[in-house]
Amino acid sequence: MKRIPIAGPWITQHEIDYVQDAVAHGWYDKAGDYVDRFEKAFAAWVGVGHAVTTPSCTSAIHLALAAAGIGPGDEVVVPELTWIASAAPIDYVGATAVFADADACTWCVNPETVGVVLSERTRAVITVDLYGNVAPSREIAALRDDLFVIEDAAEAVGSTRDGARAGSLGAVGVFSFHGSKTLTTGEGGMLVTDDPRLHERCLFLRDHGRAPGDKSFFNQEVAFKYRMSNLQAALGLAQLERVDELVARKREIFGWYRELLVDVPVTLNQEEEGVASSFWMVTALLEAGVDRDRVMARLGESGIDTRPFFHPLSSLPALQDRGEAVRARVRNSFAYELAPRGLNLPSAASLTPEQVERVCVALREALES
């Protein structure tokens, strides 16, 4: 039997047509046309003034921190439970990452867990919309009037909180279009903001320290090369034109799981009051004491791919030796309680109801044995 994949996109003839057009015609006077169209359409769809394409979400976070002038001596708060990409750019700019605990119900950070780690040196907070849920970024920004909030909506394209789209809730929002994400360009990312000066600074830093349209090639600063190719933007625009369908499919897949797992002792992704999740990854939290890794191994033997919940960042070999990680391991008890109990179930856009049923039967059996 075919293995059931954990993640993957939904590509139609529409995407193929756009990419074909870009590769055949997207040069000379048309070079960059799809980039412009993708950025404009994405900004309008998120409900913000400006959007800037990037090669990845990681580079979008780096660009946001650099554009805000964050650097050595500054602290940036980031969730304990997230992909390392949310935190690594803090190191790139020479600032100090501080890890905030998770909310036991939403798995995101909340105003309390961020509030306890704020210091005189805190310049920014990176909130993460984990697995499609939407963190209370506005409430976190309101903790103090000098906080620069970057909403990492890499996993939450199409999610909403109080009617506003994920990515529009901070000073900056960032997205990933990696092949595993709900909307894909293969690799790619986007930075969105309502701030025209920040937007301009990002455009300048994205292209080796020169303004858009510069023809003098006389660079003002050493900066980055963080542009997306027109070919990828063609794929992104086509996916964006189908985004409602892509998000509806994710919600449908989550609905199948919810129904089939109703009497299985697991807790699935929670939607807080006012939040609509796009359920990037269906995530099951097992009861305390169940051997999660054994359950994952059993599913693997049945041809079902799963992933462990994000490990606490302060537990990773890459980060564990710094002083902040030592403090975080003592402080962040919810994250350390949640992480070893969670696994992501297959959530690819290509899943059929029969495959989801196979996953649920196998999960039930693994938990009963």
Q: Contact residues for ligand PLP (CB under 6 A)? A: 56-58, 82-83, 85-86, 128, 152, 154-155, 176, 178, 189
Tokens of 135: 């963190």
Question: Toward ligand PLP, which CB reaches closer, 39 or 155?
Answer: 155
What string of DSSP letters covers 228-265?
--HHHHHHHHHHHTTHHHHHHHHHHHHHHHHHHTTTSS
* Closest approach of ligand PLP to the CB of residue 137, in Å: 13
* Closest approach of ligand PLP to the CB of residue 310, in Å: 8
Between CA 111 and CA 75 the distance in angstroms is: 17
Edge to edge, the sheet with strand 189-193 lists: 50-54, 189-193, 172-176, 148-152, 122-128, 75-79, 96-100
* Closest approach of ligand PLP to the CB of residue 196, in Å: 25
Question: Toward ligand PLP, which CB reaches closer, 191 or 223?
Answer: 191
* Closest approach of ligand PLP to the CB of residue 10, in Å: 18
Question: Toward ligand PLP, which CB reaches closer, 148 or 310?
Answer: 310
Q: Name the helix (H) or strand (E) containing 142.
A: none
* Closest approach of ligand PLP to the CB of residue 233, in Å: 15
Between strands 50-54 and 189-193, the pairing is antiparallel
Burial of 293 (0-12, 13-18, 19+ CB in 10 A): exposed
* Closest approach of ligand PLP to the CB of residue 185, in Å: 9
* Closest approach of ligand PLP to the CB of residue 174, in Å: 7
CA neighbor of 220 nearest in space, from 205, 228, 210: 210
Question: Toward ligand PLP, which CB reaches closer, 93 or 362?
Answer: 93
* Closest approach of ligand PLP to the CB of residue 192, in Å: 14
Between CA 318 and CA 338 the distance in angstroms is: 21
8 Å CB contact between 184 and 177: yes
Question: Toward ligand PLP, which CB reaches closer, 128 or 268?
Answer: 128
Question: Toward ligand PLP, which CB reaches closer, 62 or 341?
Answer: 62
Question: Toward ligand PLP, which CB reaches closer, 26 or 132?
Answer: 132
Close Cβ partners of 245 (under 8 Å, ≥ 6 residues apart): 10
Edge to edge, the sheet with strand 160-161 lists: 164-165, 160-161, 275-276
Question: Toward ligand PLP, which CB reaches closer, 166 or 360?
Answer: 166
Residue with tokens 């984990």, as numbered in its chain: 130
